[in-house]
Structure 1
Amino acid sequence: MTPNRRRFLTAATGFGAALLTGCGPATPPTVRVAAGEVGGFYHAFTAMLADVAAETATIRIHPVTTMGSLANLDLLTRGDADAALTLADAAQHTPDHLTAIGRVYENYLQLAVRADAPLTDIRQLRGARLSLGAPGSGATFTGERLLRAADLDPDTDLTVTHLALRDAVTALTDRTADALLWAGGVPTALLDVPRSLRLIDMGALAQPMRDRFGYLYDRVIIPADAYPATPAVQTIGVANLLVTTPALPDDTADALTELLITHADRLVPAVAAGTQFLDVRSLIGTDGIGLHPGAARVYRRYHG
């Protein structure tokens, strides 16, 4: 047999095998998801999403640790992430390149003070030292709106710093800060309520927030005993969205959305209180951010 004929037969055999096997197993696409701080629900949710995805042959999730919503949107805009978790109000104030995969869960604004502090109302923070979320977090954006709804000017009425949650808790216990604002799920383990910290009721500010800044803000209840042996506390909730851009291929967005729908019951941290996490009926409510075509295709498959 001549060398040329041998090469031809070898190539033909390989081609036939490829036809039978569908060209071999395809590598699932990897989606880099900008998550959030370690210790927060963004981070916990993305880790669970990655674990569930690892069991499938359709997609892989790579969590990217960040400081929160604003940092996540910046990574997405720069192309350093493929999808991002963000508060809905922060998403509405970014360039119009965003598309949504779904509404994932509700974030709760939590204003914490020391358990022995005399503070009982946010308006008493005038002149106080407040950590208003980590740099790049959604709490920095929503928190300024919250202060203004309470008739407090963040530039002049109090001393504002921006610390990561763990550092803000330390500052509170060390008495170098008087309060911290956190936007996250309930309970958040790093908030040592009620042993060393206490939450301030902010339910009365929900309507002023809506009147001044729009419909995205809801009065919500942190249930009694969400933190051990604590009473119910009213506060303000903001939807959390999983967003991307049109650059994400339709089939990848389809696989990501399918993951949320078919594994919703496995994407809720064991400590989560109430029904704050994703529900297959509410995923489509993305607060004015248009659905990615791949996500829309999945919702049509399930809902018509």
Structure 2
Amino acid sequence: MSSAKLSRRRVVGAGLGALSSAVAGVSAGCTARSGPPRRLLLATGPEGGPYNAFGAALARAVAASGSRLRIVPVSTAASVDNLRELDAGAVDLALAMADVAEDAALGREPFTRRAAATALARVYVNYTHLLVPADGPVRSLRDLAGRPVAAGAAGSGVQVVAGRVLREAGLGEGPSPARERQLGLAESARALREGAVDALFWSGGVPTPALSTLSREVPLRFLPLDGYVGPLRERYGPVYTAVTLPSGAYGLAEPVGTLGVANYLLARGEVPEAAARELLTVVFDRWSDLLREVTAGARLEPRFAISTGRVPLHPGAVAYYRSVYG
């Protein structure tokens, strides 16, 4: 996706619904502070997805704070798409999974060169879900050989992590690779429900509402992926961690070990230091509201927020963390 696709219709369509009440809050806040509002475009993800929900919540929180900033969420395909838009200067801010952000920072596939991106914070952890019908023939990842798999939308972080897991299992190529289908979450759930695919990859918070709904409609099995954490860390670094889908989530009788990947809030280096500090003030003041829609029980703590690996912190983020936490 090129930056030219960030049309006025797309920005307004993504932003107005989330900001119908927020714009009034920004206007009121400007009367208390000098200077015009600064409008920052935030690349999020597909409408109805967790990045989109986080972006809408952040826009509302910034508006309610009386800040001079105005955050406008922009609907995208998610992580890979977001880094490309950020690098092109089409947006000011972006959300992305840590593995994709490091790929961009290092100029590693799927990127052809180093992207211009800095981190504001590590905000929460995605859990990799691999779902199959409970009454189907698939009992392990390797059983997906030759079978159709919903492996994330084109330009998404799900597509990246799903492809890496499948390749590590020997299902990315060879005589009988898994047949990856590029589908977003809603399309993936529909395809699994209708039997068009035999498995569904997703990376997101727990519980993900669309998967909770699916689990009430179709008996599901969640396949463990924690055995692939070590090999992926060796190949790609510590962006991958072992996490657990807890019992009770999605009706699980027992916890399921899987792969965790952090999410970063990113900014172009050209975003002014003062704006970055002002934005982070709101993020840390309102973190519980921001995370409520994307993952249950998560907390945003500075000692984790600054852990952005090979993606350098924005100067404004460095100044914020030093001023508040020393």
Residues 194, 23 of structure 1: alpha-carbon distance in 2 compared, 3 angstrom cutoff:
closer
Counterpart of 1:106?
125
Match for 2:316: what amino acid?
A: G
Q: How many residues of Structure 1 are paired with residues of Structure 2 in the alignment?
A: 282
Shift of 1:230: 4.0
Which one of the candidate residues 168, 172, 193 is aligned to 1:173?
A: 193
Shift of 1:250: 1.3
Residues 98, 268 of structure 1: alpha-carbon distance in 2 compared, 3 angstrom cutoff:
same
Residues 41, 61 of structure 1: alpha-carbon distance in 2 compared, 3 angstrom cutoff:
same
Which one of the candidate residues 53, 61, 80 is aligned to 1:44?
A: 53
SS at match of 1:163: coil
* Contact kept? 1:115, 1:195, Cα under 8 Å: no
Please give the residue correspondences for 1:131-210 in structure 2 after superposition, counting only pairs within 5 Å.
131-154=150-173, 157-191=177-211, 192-193=214-215, 195-196=217-218, 197-210=220-233
Q: Is the deviation greater in 49-58 or in 277-286?
A: 277-286
Shift of 1:251: 1.3
Residues 31, 79 of structure 1: alpha-carbon distance in 2 compared, 3 angstrom cutoff:
same
Aligned equivalents of 2:323, 2:33: Cα separation in 1:
28
* Contact kept? 1:107, 1:184, Cα under 8 Å: yes
SS at match of 2:241: strand
Counterpart of 1:12?
none
Shift of 1:93: 1.5
**1:291 matches 2:313:** yes
What are the superposed Cα offsets for residues 73-131 of structure 1, whole Å, 9 maximum, x if unpaired?
11112222111111111111112421110101101111111232231211110011011
* Contact kept? 2:45, 2:79, Cα under 8 Å: yes
Aligned equivalents of 2:291, 2:103: Cα separation in 1:
28
What is the TM-score normalised by the length of structure 2? 0.81
Shift of 1:212: 2.6
Counterpart of 1:124?
143
Residues 193, 231 of structure 1: alpha-carbon distance in 2 compared, 3 angstrom cutoff:
farther
Aligned equivalents of 1:125, 1:56: Cα separation in 2:
49
SS at match of 2:142: helix
Counterpart of 2:24?
none
Please give the residue correspondences for 1:12-31 in structure 2 after superposition, counting only pairs within 5 Å.
25-31=34-40
* Contact kept? 2:130, 2:199, Cα under 8 Å: yes
Root mean square deviation of aligned Cα: 2.0
Aligned equivalents of 2:178, 2:164: Cα separation in 1:
14
Q: Decide which structure has the larger Cα Rg and report it.
A: 1
* Contact kept? 2:284, 2:300, Cα under 8 Å: no
Aligned equivalents of 1:205, 1:92: Cα separation in 2:
19
Residues 85, 271 of structure 1: alpha-carbon distance in 2 compared, 3 angstrom cutoff:
closer
Residues 178, 170 of structure 1: alpha-carbon distance in 2 compared, 3 angstrom cutoff:
same
Aligned equivalents of 2:74, 2:103: Cα separation in 1:
22
Aligned equivalents of 1:271, 1:101: Cα separation in 2:
18
Q: Is the deviation greater in 226-235 or in 172-181?
A: 226-235
Residues 96, 170 of structure 1: alpha-carbon distance in 2 compared, 3 angstrom cutoff:
closer
* Contact kept? 2:53, 2:293, Cα under 8 Å: no
Residues 24, 114 of structure 1: alpha-carbon distance in 2 compared, 3 angstrom cutoff:
closer
Aligned equivalents of 2:264, 2:195: Cα separation in 1:
35
What are the superposed Cα offsets for residues 180-219 of structure 1, whole Å, 9 maximum, x if unpaired?
1111111111112254133211111111211232221111
Unaligned runs of 5+ in 1: 1-21
Aligned equivalents of 1:211, 1:291: Cα separation in 2:
24
Identity %: 37
Which one of the candidate residues 82, 85, 89 is aligned to 1:75?
A: 85
Aligned equivalents of 2:41, 2:318: Cα separation in 1:
20
Shift of 1:258: 1.3
Residues 228, 108 of structure 1: alpha-carbon distance in 2 compared, 3 angstrom cutoff:
same
Residues 190, 76 of structure 1: alpha-carbon distance in 2 compared, 3 angstrom cutoff:
same
Shift of 1:46: 1.3
Shift of 1:26: 2.4
Shift of 1:61: 1.4
Shift of 1:265: 2.2
Q: Is the deviation greater in 31-40 or in 160-169?
A: 31-40
Q: Is the deviation greater in 56-65 or in 131-140?
A: 56-65
SS at match of 1:101: strand
Which one of the candidate residues 266, 275, 278 is aligned to 1:243?
A: 266
